[in-house]
Structure 1
């Protein structure tokens, strides 16, 4: 059985308190070493040869990333990157990248101004566990974005057509909404949102009409989510 994180820093925690500031810990300190020991099955990332493809499977890459633990502590100054294509967060130690296991003890990854969280979301009627970017969180109505990148296969040389390498291509992001921390559901049109809201239907309808909310634009949906949270 996998051990829980052992806290080696002297601290006092109020469980469930949102007001407490995270305790910052740098790489090389005991809690980071404990993190590494707890995940002895960190899988090495098999690096692809850049000459084999065009484009990039990564959305964010930072050298001062943060892992925030569910205990309230956070580990600073990490080299992190988010592989959208494989839906995995990778951490660099020494000269190698490793895949961070998807685990409830890690509450979020902070890539400068972007926060990546692990959530259960609805995908074509089935529940899936994966990473999404947090846009509006810790409110009655929360908004997330699922980044999408796919790999177009390589094309062989043909008469009058040169060979083409495989290519990573950005697809349209998917906006997800949840109410009161329930299952995340995709929002693609107005009716998707209206069927989810538990109350304030009239106010929401009026706001959508007055502000010309566009459901194909995440920033427009954000306006609607923020408005709902004021009701």
Structure 2
């Protein structure tokens, strides 16, 4: 993939988009962008995204979002297969470097916040932050690629290559580490030994279900009190 060093020149096209271009330019001046290659290299052959069932994106459409603490917006989308953020520049698509210079993206229409978190393990990367504070409630969205399976015989059809959006995983990022939300509340309580009794009471009193995002937000707000 070709690295783009002088991307700023691409943004002097339309005066009406000046505010947006300035923000994109600020990003560009600090980064080496990579032009997106929309294909999967599965070791045997390269397969175009268009030839794969499903999509590798959290949302196929490029949506306006603020980068970091800037006020203007840029069109981006999250590639949940590659765990990368893509930006649309005219008709070209580029990958924004996954680095601390760009710690968050806030989608203007939905208010969803995509944040970069270095967890120092295999989970490091982008998360959707559902609740902030000392303890942060994070949602990990993952899309998995399944290679095509050829037909074993003329009677049984094969299956095409496909993208599968997995069930999201939820985490609480504390000041000391990352806690993955388990299925059962009894497995979560020991993760907060200093508050076991009150946490157990809160979960029981409020009938907290760890499969409910609304309940997880309540739980995180409680932990931040």
Shorter-chain TM-score bucket reads 0.7 to 0.9
- State the Cα distance separating 1:27 from its structure 2 match: 2.0
Give the aligned CA root-mean-square deviation in angstroms: 2.2
**C-alpha contact 2:136 2:172 (8 A) present in aligned 1:** yes
Q: 1:56 to 1:211 in 2, by over 3 A?
A: same
Instruction: Name structure 1 gaps, 5 residues minimum.
Output: 1-24
Q: 1:26 to 1:196 in 2, by over 3 A?
A: farther
Q: Which runs of 4 or more aligned residues in structure 1 lie more than 4 Å from their structure 2 counterparts after TM superposition?
A: none
* Aligned mates of 2:212, 2:63 — CA distance in 1: 30
* Aligned mates of 2:57, 2:71 — CA distance in 1: 22
Instruction: Name structure 2 gaps, 5 residues minimum.
Output: 1-17, 40-47
- Give the paired residue count: 195
Q: Greater helix percent: which structure?
A: 2
Aligned residue for 1:45?
Answer: 36
> What secondary structure sits across from 2:141 in the alignment?
strand
Matches within 5 A, 1:95-174: 95-111=91-107, 112=109, 113-121=111-119, 126=121, 128-137=123-132, 139-157=133-151, 158-174=153-169
Aligned residue for 1:17?
Answer: none
* TM-score, normalised via structure 2 length: 0.77
* Aligned mates of 1:127, 1:195 — CA distance in 2: 23
* Aligned mates of 1:121, 1:219 — CA distance in 2: 24
**C-alpha contact 1:120 1:127 (8 A) present in aligned 2:** no
> Are 2:25 and 1:27 aligned?
no
> Are 2:56 and 1:64 aligned?
no
> What secondary structure sits across from 2:194 in the alignment?
coil
